[in-house]
Structure 1
Amino acid sequence: MQLQKDKKSLLTYGAFAILLLSLGYLGFAHRSVIKERNGLLVERATLEQKVTMLKKSFTEQKAQAESSMRARQAAEAKMGKANQLLTEQETQVKELQAKVETLEAQWEKRSESDKEQQEQVRLAIDQWKAKVEELQTTIATGQTKIRAQETRINDLESLAATTKAALDNESVQHKGCREKNGKLAALSEELTKSYQKKGVVDVLSSNEPLTQLKKVEMEKLMQEYLDRVDAEVLPKSGVER
């Protein structure tokens, strides 16, 4: 009878030893997740710096916006792995809690003669319960920080999209400027030809002073030129550099 009782005690202590090893491994895995999370925070700071540099020039903004998108995708992939590890840890915590509850139930059934040993085991159980609760708190904190990081990454993605849209709009404005300038150049050439047809070049090359030109014709030509230039006034750009 005593031998059987000792066997049960050995089995119980063995179960507690396994439980101790499991929690030790779980703590190591959790520290690895925290380390990886800190690495993701560093990557997030790098992404924010890249987004700030987008404002320097048109070419750099476009290239860095695309680079930020690629970095965001890589960060999301790593964050997905971190979330998966946290989920696995939560599952392990639940399993350990179930084992603790099973052990509690077993020790409750022990006889009064084992009361002292039972008290020691209960103390150990309480200690493991405290460790499990501490681990749960740490996991919850990690999840909160990961969600905050997801929000920041989404903000970076929105900023990159806004920057790209502004760059596209600026490109359209530049194209319009080139077209307007071409039209103004054509008007200038047309005005020069008009002067030549009216003999202005010949008059200017002669010894007669400018005041001797036919002022009415000159004013008429200049007014026509100004009216056509006003019709081609460039609109203000919708993008501030």
Structure 2
Amino acid sequence: MNINEVDAAINSNQRVRQLVKTAPLGIVERMQVQHFDTKQFLLQQGEQYQFTYLLVKGRVKVFLNSPSGKQVVLDVYDAGMFLGEQEAIINRPYSASIINISPITVLAIRNADFVEWSQTDHRFADQLISNLSEQIYHLTKRMERYSMHSALQQIGFFLLNCAADRVPITRERITYEVDTSYRNINRVLKRLADLDVIKIDHATIKITDYQTLRKIVETED
């Protein structure tokens, strides 16, 4: 692997650059840059892999598959997130599946190198603990939303959060954030559109009445 390509990948994203800043040179030299088209990168729940991946560009979906075929999305990761770091540290099969939902670039790091890195680079170890704690917190909040909120509330709160963060809202993004079927998502969106609190323009969704939408999701049983 061309070290210049690895260096270019590391420096293409500020969060990635900060994570790798103090990595041992020997480990950096053994990293591999890999590129995948949408849905061409798949790590299966229950399988073990030889590499830990650092997402440099693009987005991946982390999800569970039940024996009945139901899929539950646990999270969507952007650049700067590790894939498989927990499994590498404890040498276990993947607890969830991962697939890319956009073209991605990753740095592939052999598990043994990743474990050595985490044990010898104390600055990196502190960042890793912080990242894992953030993931656990985020997952707990998501499970709270799944178990305690109706589909309408999940969708409504997600719409409001996206609007507050000025993030574009699409049906696809909604499917990654709520625990319900695509058909039910469409039903809820139609209901909200009929109430004139949102406007659906092809793939884009815009809130037209924030106050009413918030009242609906806060009073929904």
Q: Judge same fold: TM > 0.5, yes or no.
A: no
Greater strand content: 2
- Structure-2-length-normalised TM-score: 0.26
Considering only CA atoms, is the larger Rg found in Structure 1 or Structure 2? 1
**Relative to total residues, which structure has the larger helix share, 1 or 2?**
1
Asked which structure has the greater RCO (Cα within 8 Å, sep 6+), the reply is: 1
